[in-house]
Amino acid sequence: MLQLMRIHAKNWLMKVVLGIIILVFVFYFGSMRGRQATETIAEIDGSRIAYAEFRTEYQNLLDFYRQRYGDNLTDDLLKKMNPKQQVFDSLINRSIILSKADDLKLDVSDDELKTFILSYPAFQRNGVFDDKLYQRVLRYQRMTPEDFEITQRRALKAGKLERLIKESVKVSDKEVRDIYNTQNRKININFVEVDLKAKAQPPEEDLERYLKEHGEAFRIPQRAVIEYIAFKGESFADSFDISDEEIEEYYDYHKGDFEDNGKTKPLPEVRSRIVSRLKSTKGTDAAFGEARRAHDTIYQEENFEEYARGKGLAIETSEFFRGIPLTGQLTGIQDLGEYVFNLEEGDLGRVFSNNSGHYIFKLVSLKPSYIPELREVAKKVEKSYTESESIKLSKKEAEDILGHLKNGMDMAKLSRDKGLKVSETGLFLPGPSIPKIGYSQELEEALIRMSEKEPLPDNVFFVNGKYIVIRFKEEGKLDEKEWEENKGSIKDYILRFKEERHLLSWLEGTREDMFSKGKLKILKRVEDL
């Protein structure tokens, strides 16, 4: 128990809260309106759970999540929470608890039920039970008083058994103090960074072997070569005359574009900008029309090169690779990179556009993906090989240092002998972000376990491209005044946590026992509901 708390000290309460909410919501605020004579999904000690009841509870839980999460309730989040499984398990658990409560002859008297209803906040006005409000709330929930009383009698009966189960749970003062210490304990650690560099210009045979072992990392993607003709809007823009009426209309509809310190500039000051914009728009439209006509002509006559020569248009060539963004003039063209690879050599593609213009092209050649020879990627292979060897050397050196430390050698002297520097983090709360080192969840888990008695971890850590060797240095003093002020509430939290774990453990054990004895029968799988 305590080890679990130490490892998960910072988030154990949050992890259990959602489970408690679900259990309470489904158990106490589910429909429980009487079994409908429909398909049975499970039987517990002769008591049936109907599919209709599952659907009602499931819809209630979905509504609860929608209210709780709002627009943040994505399909992925819903899939992770698996509400169908939650409801199914809760229905089974509820029936188990009621069955065991009956075995123990636990019951709820009329006075107990009356006291509960009269004290229920939803039925009170100004702190006093209001029968009209009671009736109205139940009508809103589509329940009769009789249904509600049956539901609450069952819930109160179950609550009695739950209290009996939880009463065996105790929390010692030592547990509370240990949890407080874990959550508030600051430590300071010494650390050494090891970042060795492998020798430059490794033998060619080593590079050949490395390329053979890591060939996929150097694979050349499928390559396409295209020829294309560009139709730029700017080439057509100057052929248009812009009328005063067009200028004024544009100005009226786009005054917000010409504001300066909240005031709209007068038309004469921005006239030239408007003319330029209108010419650009018309030029772009004209270029697209010309590109479409050229495409249709070339498609019918199959005369890509002849058409370009006849119109005095330049044919450009571009080479690109599957999965790598386009560059140059073609930057920003959507889908071209994938479209091309679905063509055959010599095919004419459709018209594509970007902010600069419109393009028609034909596919000249396709080359398949392949793993290159060393001569083609020698520099890349050498760089990757050197980095890999550097990491291996650094890890070996770091592990050597840790081994010597475990044998009692002094960290400062050992580091000096190796030309390394010993640094320290300063006092901090152990977490994944470690001062002066970086972010590492693996290192966080080691820090939680470190102490004066256990100053060294089991292994070294790779953080931000370097290997790190750490050693516990000191622990900060806890704020005793803060401890005295909070120990009561901390004890309550821990008790609630242990009670819920104990109840869930009891349910799991009882469920397995009833299943093995044939008292629990699962008739439908959750996936089929």
User: At 493, which CATH number?
Assistant: 1.10.4030.10
In a domain, 125, yes or no: yes
Q: What is the pLDDT of residue 397?
A: 95
Domain count, the chain: 3
User: Are 241 and 257 part of one and the same domain?
Assistant: yes
Chain CA centroid to CA 515, Å: 37
In a domain, 259, yes or no: yes
Instruction: For the chain, state the CA radius of gyration.
Output: 37
Tell me the sheet residues that pair with 357: 232
Q: Any idea which residue has 């992770």 for tokens?
A: 80
Is the Cβ–Cβ distance between 73 and 66 less than 8 Å?
A: yes
Cα pseudo-dihedral 279, 282, 286, 287, rounded to 10? 60
Residue 109 has what DSSP assignment? -
- The predicted-structure confidence for 420-467, as pLDDT tens digits, reads as follows 999 999 999 999 999 999 999 999 999 988 999 999 999 999 999 999
- Whole-model pTM: value is 0.57
- The predicted-structure confidence for 219-251, as pLDDT tens digits, reads as follows 999 999 999 999 998 889 888 999 999 998 888
User: Are 37 and 133 part of one and the same domain?
Assistant: yes
Chain CA centroid to CA 434, Å: 22
Looking only at the bridges linking them, the beta strands covering 438-439 and 433-434 are antiparallel
Is the Cβ–Cβ distance between 316 and 382 less than 8 Å?
A: no
User: Are 164 and 243 part of one and the same domain?
Assistant: no
308: amino acid identity, one letter: A
- Position 27 confidence tier, pLDDT thresholds 50, 70, 90: very low
User: Are 234 and 355 part of one and the same domain?
Assistant: yes
User: Are 437 and 412 part of one and the same domain?
Assistant: yes
User: Are 39 and 153 part of one and the same domain?
Assistant: yes
Is the Cβ–Cβ distance between 99 and 47 less than 8 Å?
A: yes
Is the Cβ–Cβ distance between 439 and 463 less than 8 Å?
A: yes
Q: Any idea which residue has 């004890």 for tokens?
A: 491
In a domain, 388, yes or no: yes
Q: Any idea which residue has 């007068």 for tokens?
A: 266
Q: What is the pLDDT of residue 68?
A: 86
User: Are 166 and 23 part of one and the same domain?
Assistant: yes
In a domain, 210, yes or no: no
Q: What is the pLDDT of residue 362?
A: 95
User: Are 386 and 440 part of one and the same domain?
Assistant: yes
What span, in angstroms and rounded, lies between the C-alpha atoms of 171 and 88? 32
Is the Cβ–Cβ distance between 224 and 365 less than 8 Å?
A: yes
What span, in angstroms and rounded, lies between the C-alpha atoms of 229 and 316? 6
In a domain, 196, yes or no: yes
User: At 193, which CATH number?
Assistant: 3.10.50
In a domain, 416, yes or no: yes
- The predicted-structure confidence for 159-209, as pLDDT tens digits, reads as follows 999 999 999 899 998 988 988 888 888 999 999 999 999 887 889 999 999
User: Are 88 and 191 part of one and the same domain?
Assistant: no
Q: What is the pLDDT of residue 398?
A: 96
Is the Cβ–Cβ distance between 10 and 431 less than 8 Å?
A: yes
User: Are 307 and 354 part of one and the same domain?
Assistant: yes
Residue 330 CB coordination number (10 Å): 21
In a domain, 322, yes or no: no
User: Are 231 and 356 part of one and the same domain?
Assistant: yes
Q: Mean per-residue pLDDT for 518-526?
A: 89
Owning domain of residue 439: 186-203+377-475
In a domain, 333, yes or no: no
User: Are 159 and 240 part of one and the same domain?
Assistant: no
CA-wise closest residue to 431 among 191, 193, 192, 185: 185
